[in-house]
Amino acid sequence: MAAPVRGIAALDVPLAQVEANTAQSAAREALERHVATLPVPKFSECVHCGDRRGAWVPDPSGARWPNGAQVLVCADRCTAADPDRHALDLDADTRFAQLAANYTAGSPS
């Protein structure tokens, strides 16, 4: 049985692990600064695209909202919304997409 590691040797951590932890901390801090400027959502939603349908996973950085709730992101794939919009208005977006699909140049509507 190996003797327990004591003293400064117990703090010896590979440089790659330190760099990974530092990068993750920086990502978490940057995202937490961003979400601090947004209204805290009343329902679960992706912080990037505002999707409320799910499925979500906690943000890999471990960021949290100011109230302590985990920041969620889409589990599969998401497209970041316009940076000026936090939650997407799905009904308005759907209506606009339908109008755009039916648009004929030169028509009055």
CA distance 83 to 95: 21
In a domain, 45, yes or no: yes
Measured distance between the N- and C-terminal CA atoms of the chain, rounded to whole angstroms:
81
Contact predicate 49/81, CB 8 Å: yes
Q: What pLDDT was estimated at residue 87?
A: 46
Contact predicate 66/104, CB 8 Å: no
What does the pLDDT average to over 90-108? Answer: 66
pLDDT digits (tens, 9 = 90+) for 44-94: 888 888 888 878 888 888 888 888 888 888 887 665 554 444 445 566 666
In a domain, 4, yes or no: no
In a domain, 41, yes or no: yes
In a domain, 1, yes or no: no
In a domain, 10, yes or no: no
In a domain, 78, yes or no: yes
The domain of 63 spans: 15-101
Residue 70's closest CA among 37, 38, 40, 100? 40
> C-alpha dihedral over 42, 64, 66, 34, to 10 degrees?
-90
In a domain, 8, yes or no: no
In a domain, 108, yes or no: no
